[in-house]
Amino acid sequence: MRIIVVARDAIVNWILGVICDLKLPESPSIAPVPLRYHYNGIGASFGWKDISNISPLQSFLVDVALAESTRTDSWHCIIRMKRTQSSTGQPYASFMDPLPHCLHEVGDVEKADNPTFYGRFCYYFILRGLSYSMSDRPSIKVLNHLGHWEIYNHLPTNLNSICFLNLPIFDPSRNRGVTKNTMEDGKTPTNPSFIDDGRLEVVGSKSDFWYGGIDWPLLDQVRGVRFEFIEGARGVVHLRIDEGMSFGIRIEELVEIEISYHGQVNILALPDCAAKSIRLSTQSSVSQANAKD
């Protein structure tokens, strides 16, 4: 089954989540077609043009029929919180009224001592508000190749925002730039960037990804990350998931934010698109080797 989704990234994310929740025997593939005048990094990454550039319709439908179905990593974010004196009465109203559609409650958060929320993303997860004093900064851990969490001390201290990026095209200012393929120190990443390799690109910004230019260094590649917030820390962090609305959470109410791999979804890709699949690349290499033999 192939589904055409003409919408912004946040809606594409929501539809992919619904498909995952249905747990169908065979998951359908979607063609994420951007709306006119709206940025859509998911569609652009897989080679789709906005709806105003689709002409004639029959040619577009042929493209959908012939497009390659690519397995694309899906990620879970878990937000664990705690009750504070400021959150009694109407807890977490700062981002629960209404609750962003990208997040879901785990159990009855109104009664829980440690309310928990989860969300999915296949494009990016942005955390902004790291420029507070070092004493208020969370402890950061990453998931190593053995599946164990270890302290991460390589994040520059002058960053305000950090993005965990799964797709190659990223530019909230709508310039649709492809991310750099070099690390902040000028070295080439240990592993090439693929959409189905179980790794996220870590991109930093000294200001904000929506303002202040496009000097966004590629910092690292990770299999998972966890922010553990320090008791007594103050400030507000702002989160944004797959082009959804940004929302803020008081640091004093946060326990941790964890991002981890959560399976794959099917997205239709046009030829020569920016998104690259390690599975398809491996198959191509094997075919070329067999042809030489």
User: What are the residue boundaries of the structural domains of the chain, listed by start?
Assistant: 2-73+264-292
From residue 224, alpha-carbon distances to 92, 200, 227, 233 in Å are 26, 8, 11, 24
Q: What is the mean pLDDT of the chain?
A: 81
Taking residues 40-55, what's their average pLDDT?
A: 83
pLDDT tens digits for range 166-198: 998 765 444 434 445 445 555 555 667 899 999
**Which comes out higher in pLDDT, residue 174 or 145?**
145
* pLDDT tens-place string over residues 209-265: 766 556 677 888 899 999 999 888 888 889 999 988 888 888 888 999 999 999 999
Higher per-residue confidence, 202 vs 258: 258
Residue 289: its pLDDT value, please? 41
- Tell me how far apart the alpha carbons of residues 199 and 197 are, in angstroms, rounded to a whole number: 6
Q: How confident is the model at residue 5 (pLDDT cuts 50, 70, 90)?
A: very high
Paired tokens of 285: 């290499």
CA separation for the pair 59, 207 (Å, rounded) = 43
Per-residue confidence (pLDDT) for residue 47, from 0 to 100: 92
E strand map for 214-285: 218-222, 224-228, 236-241, 247-250, 254-269
pLDDT for res 79: 94
pTM of the model: 0.85
CA 272 distance to own-chain centroid: 22
